[in-house]
Amino acid sequence: MNTDSQREQETQELKGHVEETAGKVFGDDELVAHGKADQIAAHAKQAAAQAGEAARHLGQRVRERAMHKLGELHERLHEAADGASATADGAADKATGKTAEAADRAADKTARAADTVAGKTAGAADKTAGKTADAADKVAGKTARAADTVADKTADAADKVAGTTAQAADTVADKASQAADKVADRASAVAEAADEAARKRRADRVAKAAEEADANAGKG
């Protein structure tokens, strides 16, 4: 994982922790869900990067080992060619000039064959290393895409949970408002009834006082 990618992953993970903590403190389920989604996405990206890096290291090790074996093979073939040439030279001292030339040609063919084998082996090693690197890139790409998919699904789920919670909160608020309106209406009706009863009692007292005044006046 390069420095920029690591810094971005750490920033996203820290942001997720902060959002989750703030959501728990303020009782915000939506913020908690988004914080967890950010943390999951950060960990998934980190895993993808680590998988890609491990695969690339594996490809490099395969290439290095192949090149090492190739070098050993090349040295052995050249040693064999030199040995054949030395043997041919020894035989040439005892044989005719044509035999010496034939031995030299055989030694040259052996050396060329060694170079050809070494070249083909190097080409095969390069192809193997290239295929390994391609496979590593594909694995890293698939892992990154899977991480993005998980993060998207987690975010969608968080949005759905937040939406459901918000709808439930609105429903509760509406019902509470309706209940409050009913209570207010009943209180208003009770107050009106109390006022009416008070007016009636005052009227009764006034009428009774008037009757008593009339009665007293008649006695006088």
* pLDDT at position 77: 67
CA distance 78 to 42: 54
- Confidence class of residue 183 from pLDDT cuts 50, 70 and 90? confident
Residue type at position 109: K
CA distance 1 to 54: 10
What is the gyration radius of the CA atoms in the chain, in angstroms? Answer: 48
Residue the block writes with tokens 């052996």:
110
pLDDT, one tens digit per residue, over 14-66 is 999 999 999 999 999 999 999 999 999 888 888 888 878 887 887 788 678 86
Position 175 pLDDT exceeds 60: yes
Which tokens belong to 28? 């915000």
pLDDT, one tens digit per residue, over 82-139 is 765 565 566 546 655 665 576 677 667 766 875 786 678 668 657 876 887 787 688 6
Which tokens belong to 202? 């005052």
* pLDDT at position 148: 80
CA distance 90 to 131: 47
Among 8-17, 167-176, 205-214, the range scoring the smallest mean pLDDT is 167-176
Distance of CA 152 to the CA centre of its chain: 9
Region 209-219 average pLDDT: 84
CA distance 60 to 198: 99
Q: Are 103 and 91 in contact (CB under 8 A)?
A: yes
Position 194 pLDDT exceeds 70: yes
Q: Are 66 and 125 in contact (CB under 8 A)?
A: yes
Domain residue extents for the chain: 3-171
How far is the CA of 70 from the CAs of 28, 60, 129, in angstroms? 64, 15, 14
CA distance 67 to 206: 122
Q: What H or E segment, with its residue span, contains residue 33?
A: helix 29-94
CA distance 190 to 183: 10
* pLDDT at position 163: 77
* pLDDT at position 158: 61
